Structure 1
């Protein structure tokens, strides 16, 4: 059953056999993100088969492949960032089954422990910026909370795409966010945050995205340029007021998305960009704590505690 972190159990299961279009991967590294918490708790309903293996992302080595799989072989280093959802078992196991069309080669020389923490965040950033926001070179984007994993990835990818990036950072994170490529870094807790955004973008903001869900539309929407896009993807319990008149008179749009719903094609496109950035050393993450598989409950609790 879904429930609190205390519901997580560890034990032994048979090593699964891959179906014709599946890959069996020996896990080397994974990570915990907020979507893991939503699925485990039942807050994000999705088909689950019990016993259900939690976990979304993996980096590992192919141990076996199904009869119809031609692009992978035992010994290949690979990664995936869309397990543990929609009937797929998760990644927190020594041996993990993954659909072959959701598995990607790991670039040579990349440490699994360095890759695993960025996979979910970078995939979210790519799909949000490319498919949803349709970000163009020269446009201005405001990333309201840029200190976390997703915010960091948004800043880095948006800068790589040629956007002018205004980022909100937590106290002490200003240098980290600037190093990711932000053109302007503002204290996200400053009382005059939106006034500073307005000064930095006097012609208006083309894309506004707060990956933490701390949206204040009464203050952010007036800063939008004509045709702007607002991305929402967090704050499951949040119900901010929306100034509709200032949205439609700007031909602006509010777009919500969850990477869990992304198609295999969207994820594969994102994976190509992620691999280029991994190989170039452009994706970096800060690891707060490291856990063994048997400490999965403690890992969930640590993330819930912030």
Structure 2
């Protein structure tokens, strides 16, 4: 088979495109013919060595795939359209190839009527958002959620999932994105660069925020804690650019908590729960990607270079064999 792979950790230029032996499924694995794979920031973290995880070389890159079952196994029938969003990590080979062997517990059927090459663009952001909101954020219907960076891929999924779950969603985004974020279900959208942003958000949530999630990576914990309701939760989606200051006293007095979250640490059961929620919304016509580029799988190195250079800016890249 042809695949995008690396033989050592490093920058995008270490990615190779060429022939590798077909994967041989082990016990509990399903052989899948790949239709498409998406390019995620976590792929770059693994490829570069920033996120350390067991891997063997040559190592096929990529986390997400949508494809068809190549040989019946573990209850999956030949020809079924399936997806996975947790390859390329924890000793598992990646998705950026013509074929992949996928553990059956990490493989999910795609709902009928959903376009595979469109759906693959939302698997990772949507599952991330679901786990952040419900598994780590403990969101309940009627709660108030603040989503920072709501116009991005994960941010948009956070808004849509929270709104559909019956939460009141406050969001920050650039003015050009306000209409889009409102269309996803946000009750209020504020310019993230506005003067007096914290005061404005506090006025919109006089009872406080139950779940605070900032996808931008700024992690302003002083402001986040000040906005929390009693027993509110701050869910950290990325590492801070600086060393943030945690106001321990106010957090303590609110019975609040700060919770780190990396989807790569999610259990198989947690991922399956997120997949069920994602499938339900996909079947209902939700979670459609805002902007997608389609390229051949041989363009994996170029896609990684563009992603790390910040050129994608919310667009998703889908690669097809």
Q: What's the TM-score, normalizing by structure 1?
A: 0.96
RMSD: 1.2
Q: Does structure 1 retain, via aligned residues, the 8 Å contact 2:178–2:189? A: yes
Number of the residue aligned with 1:41: 48
In proportion to residue count, which structure has more strand?
2
Map 1:54-93 onto structure 2 (within 5 A): 54-66=61-73, 69=74, 71-93=75-97
Name the SS for the 1:286 alignment partner: coil
Number of the residue aligned with 2:270: 266
Map 1:6-25 onto structure 2 (within 5 A): 6-25=13-32
Deviates more, 1:152-161 or 1:26-35: 26-35
| Alignment partner of 1:232 out of 215, 236, 245 | 236
Number of the residue aligned with 2:134: 130
Number of the residue aligned with 2:57: 50
Name the SS for the 1:120 alignment partner: helix
Map 1:219-258 onto structure 2 (within 5 A): 219-235=223-239, 237-258=241-262
Render the CA deviation track for 1:245-280: whole Å, top value 9, x for unaligned: 111111100000111111111111111111110001
1:181 paired to 2:181: no
**Structure 1 position 236, deviation (Å):** 5.5
Distance in 1 separating the partners of 2:12 and 2:23: 25
Map 1:159-198 onto structure 2 (within 5 A): 159-198=163-202
Deviates more, 1:190-199 or 1:284-293: 284-293
1:2 paired to 2:6: no
Distance in 2 separating the partners of 1:10 and 1:294: 6
Q: Does structure 1 retain, via aligned residues, the 8 Å contact 2:68–2:80? A: yes
1:283 paired to 2:283: no
Distance in 1 separating the partners of 2:243 and 2:122: 29
**Structure 1 position 221, deviation (Å):** 1.4
**Structure 1 position 65, deviation (Å):** 4.1
Size of the aligned set, in residue pairs, is: 303
Render the CA deviation track for 1:197-254: whole Å, top value 9, x for unaligned: 1111011111100122122112221111110000002136442111111111111000
Name the SS for the 2:50 alignment partner: coil
Map 1:94-173 onto structure 2 (within 5 A): 94-173=98-177
Number of the residue aligned with 1:30: 37
Q: Does structure 2 retain, via aligned residues, the 8 Å contact 1:213–1:238? A: no
5+ residue gaps, structure 2, are 1-7, 311-321
